[in-house]
Amino acid sequence: MTTRGKLVLGVLLATLLYFGINKLVQSGVLFKKAATESVLLSSIELPSSAGGSRTNVAVPLAPLPSETPAGKGSPLVWEVMAWNSQMAGMLANGGPRTTQGSSLAAGGLDMQIVRQDDVAKMQADLVKNALDLQSNPETPGLLVSIMGDGLPAFSAVQPQLEKAGTGLQIIPYSVGKSFGEDKLMGPKEWLDNPKAALGKTVACYLRDGDQNIALKWCADNGLKVNPDETTYDPEAVNFMAASDFLVAAEKYIIGKPEQRVKVVKGKNTGVKVDVVADAVATWTPGDVNIAKQKGGLVNIVSTKDYSNQMPNIMVTTKRWYDAHPKEVEALMTALAVAGDQVKSHPEALSRAADISASVYGDKDKPGSYWLRYYKGVSEADRNGEVVELGGSKAFNFADNLALFGLNEGGTNIYAAVYKTFGDVQHQLYPKELPSYVPLDQMLDLAPLRKLQDKYRGKNLAPAEQQQFAADDEIRQSVSRRAWNIEFHTGQRTFTPAAEQQLDQLFNDLVVAGRLKVAVHGHTDNVGDAQRNQQLSQDRAEAVRQWLEQRSASAFPAGRVQTYAHGAQEPVAPNTTPEGKARNRRVEIVLGN
Amino acid sequence: MKSLFLPNARPPRTTFALMAAGQAGLLLLLWLFYPLQLFPSLGDVLRALADLTTTQGLMPELWASMTTALQALGMATVLALLISYLTALPFFRPLAYAASKMRYLTLTGLTFFVALLVSSGHEVKLSVLTFATTVYLVTGMTAVMLGTTQQELDHARTLGLGEWRSFWEVVVLGKLADMLEVVRQNFAIIWTMITLVETLYQSEGGIGLLLYKQNRYLHLDGVVAIQLVILAAGAAQDYVFGLLRRVFFPYASLAAAR
């Protein structure tokens, strides 16, 4: 055969092969990709607690730590991201390496703080540390700090640790939390009309805390979300994957479209559509970049609202934890001492910010930068819209008792956060996260209880308590959603089926700790108007009482308000039994 | 048997095939019976492979990546051939020199500018892949061209061909087989970059994205399974290129030592 002949034959064969395979792949006859339908997340519960009141028990200013390394004590390494919630830990250490006069040195610890922004590297380091500890028990222990709502996904490292003969263990003490800096930014109209977000796309680093904020907001507003980042569902909120939180902001700033397959009710329509980022879930300085380079987005919701979503959780290996009870106690004590200092004294906070700067090592970001965004600031964006940027909080000992539910009338807020976001991530990504480690396998509150007993009766600085004024109505709502809480006909008592709904509602409200809760009662049109008015009032009250009884700390007086509407605001015609059932409802509005 | 350990020996085909199969088998047995502490076992990897294929669309994703890779390779080959043939003209030599040196550039950050220039995520992916492949291809192809000996050119001239014609016969047509070899060798670059590129724009899927997701949740068995699939795809690709070379340039390997 001539070369030309071969060429023609070759091209012919290649073309046939290409279109053949293409047809085969697209037909889905051989290997079908599991179809993903958009999901309505039943509820994302964020426990609620502390707000912003100043502590009134004066903790005297302790001498600040020196800059000379202590050079002795049990060795320890703490891997952290550049995250402001760690101010108390920074002060406790006195520098990147424990210094003389620091509270950690006083506890006989010698800790090296290392910046590590890569979660996969953190996981690998934990496994390596477990192996090293196995061959040499003198190896320094490794602590890793991650976002509390991200722990279920992080716990994917558990099988690897089990192979190394150990497991994950939580230090039952948190140094602080994100308080505003993690957020969902979107068009202003979403504030008044969340439904406007349907068919829109949020850019974010998927399967992480920032996406969790967006997911919670969608759940709170009853919006479906499309878990498949390669398709577009016009009836759900879609996501655009970014490789990190800064790239997420970049996707919005550049505004270039991505092509996707349109999906309706889980069915692939085969139609290709162009999708751009309409909103972004990110954190500082991603929000700063958006404000300065493009503008046009406002804060829809942030960790200031969902104030319990992101505590800083430290994990280590069970192997180290079990062998070092004294060190664990010393660590918690040192962090508690420093937490009070950072919270009460500007000098201590400013020193902690300087230490942060030297640990994080960004040449262009001095201590003043970290201090500024720890407190949080309001700045005008390119279009003159005011955007709130940054915001974190340090915890003291009493804050921790509240977080883990050891205070009076308290709930384990962190347990609610962990379960909530573990379930959400599992529901959205069943293939990637088929299961997550139950919290009680990793969390042991005994050390915290022991310290609590030790300090009982002593003069402890109180936890921050959010104050809610009973007569202060919600001015800016964050979410509005109808809850199908069933009552016995004509009565104010719950049916057994309602309990499950109430549990979910409870968890949801706990995460959104800083938001006020308005309970709106509605009835159908059966019976006379006055009686319906009273019934709707009674039912709203019943929900309020249930919540307050369940946790006095999460629902302090004034947080929950009730409103009665009788049969005046039906959402469906009262002509059918289904319509009536839909009208007998309780609506929950969260807001500031 | 002895010939297996002799320099430059040519053992019988069957002996050689048996030996290779034995080596592979030994490796598999080692993996099966002496699992490492953290490395996933063979059983786990096979199970993950089955699951990825049946429920997570491994094959369609592989095909999506393969077509992207082939598209990029096609464009890069045309571009690189053009640039390297142009080096025959002194005017264009700096261009080839610069293009070849650009393989030292790292792609981080560059994607931002590319995104500003083109209109969609798919184009960004293609441009980044095409760019990276082109610079490697240019390097290899110019080396092939520069390897043209004086003897080859003189031979053409003595046949009475002009400079342009000699260039066409000796360099363009005469080196096509070697160019194909350069393309084959550098195709691997695309596969090493595919994960990076596919995670930049995740909406189009691809095997790189699947790999990234497996790694994100530390499903190491899935990671190994996908890596093996990529390895197999690469080997198949190498074979096809070898086949093309044998079909279209049957004389190209005449001079090779056997």
- Per-residue pLDDT tens for A436-494? 999 999 999 999 999 999 888 776 677 776 666 666 666 667 777 777 787 777 778 88
Instruction: Answer yes or no: is pLDDT of A48 > 50.
Output: no
Highest mean pLDDT among A406-415, A434-443, B197-206: A434-443
pLDDT at A455: 82
pLDDT at A41: 59
Q: What are B163-195's pLDDT values in tens digits? A: 888 888 888 888 888 899 899 988 888 888 887
The secondary structure of A81-148 as a DSSP string is -S-GGGHHHHHHHSSSB-BTTSHHHHTTEEEEEEE---HHHHHHHHHHHHHHHHH-TTSPEEEEEEEG
Which one has a higher pLDDT value, A51 or A80?
A80
**Range from A61-75, A165-179, A301-315, B6-20 carrying the lowest mean pLDDT:** B6-20
Q: Which residues of A touch B202 (CB under 8 A)?
A: 206, 229-230, 240-241
CB pairs under 8 A between A and B: 101
Q: Do B218 and A21 touch (CB under 8 A)?
A: no
- What are the C-alpha distances in Å from A76 to residues A93, A118, A316, B76, B150? 11, 20, 11, 51, 68
Q: What are A75-97's pLDDT values in tens digits? A: 999 999 989 999 999 999 999 99
pLDDT at A584: 84
Give the pairing of strands A109-115 and A279-283: unpaired
User: Which two three-digit tokens encode residue B257?
Assistant: 């030592």
Residue A15 exposed, middle or buried by CB count within 10 Å (0-12, 13-18, 19+)? exposed
A530 CB contacts (<8 Å, ≥6 apart)?
none
Instruction: Answer yes or no: is pLDDT of A406 > 80.
Output: yes
A219 CB contacts (<8 Å, ≥6 apart)?
A40, A41, A42, A43, A44, A424, A508
Q: Which residues of A touch B204 (CB under 8 A)?
A: 230, 258-259
Q: Pick the closest to residue A520 from A503, A533, A509, A507 (CA basis).
A: A533
pLDDT mean across residues, chain B: 86
Instruction: Answer yes or no: is pLDDT of A169 > 90.
Output: yes
User: What backbone torsions phi and psi does residue A405 show, to the nearest 5 degrees?
Assistant: 75, 25
Q: Which residues of B touch A10 (CB under 8 A)?
A: 244, 247-248
**Range from A176-190, A461-475, B85-99 carrying the lowest mean pLDDT:** A461-475
Model confidence at A58, pLDDT cuts 50, 70, 90, reads low
Q: What are A135-164's pLDDT values in tens digits? A: 999 999 999 999 999 999 999 999 999 999
Q: Pick the closest to residue A57 from A458, A553, A467 (CA basis).
A: A458
Closest-CA residue in chain A for B60? A25
Of the candidates A7, A25, A207, the beta carbon closest to that of B60 is on A25
Place of tokens 């969390």: A443
**Range from A101-105, A342-346, A383-387, B207-211 carrying the lowest mean pLDDT:** A383-387
How much is the average pLDDT of A348-362? 94
Q: Do B203 and A164 touch (CB under 8 A)?
A: no
Q: What are A271-314's pLDDT values in tens digits? A: 989 999 999 999 877 888 888 888 889 889 999 888 889 999 99
Q: Do A160 and B218 touch (CB under 8 A)?
A: yes
The one-letter amino acid code at B243 reads: L
Q: Which residues of B touch A7 (CB under 8 A)?
A: 248
pLDDT at B77: 94
How much is the average pLDDT of B35-46? 83
Chain A residues contacting B, CB < 8 Å?
3, 6-7, 10, 18, 21-22, 25, 28, 30-34, 120, 123, 127, 131, 153, 156-157, 159-160, 163-164, 206-207, 229-230, 240-241, 243, 247, 250, 254, 256-260, 274-275, 431-433
Q: Which residues of A touch B55 (CB under 8 A)?
A: 33-34, 431
pLDDT at A52: 37
pLDDT at A87: 95
The three-state secondary structure class of A581 is helix
- Global pTM value: 0.77
Place of tokens 């070092």: A324
Instruction: Answer yes or no: is pLDDT of A47 > 70.
Output: no
Selected residue of B122, B218, B247 to mutate for chain A interface (largest A Cβ count, 10 A): B218
Q: Do B248 and A259 touch (CB under 8 A)?
A: no
CA distance B178 to A8: 21
- Residue A80 bridge partners (DSSP): A115
Q: Do A431 and B55 touch (CB under 8 A)?
A: yes
Closest-CA residue in chain B for A32? B57
SS (H, E, C) A266-278: CEEEEEEEEECCC
pLDDT at A588: 84
CA distance A35 to A228: 9
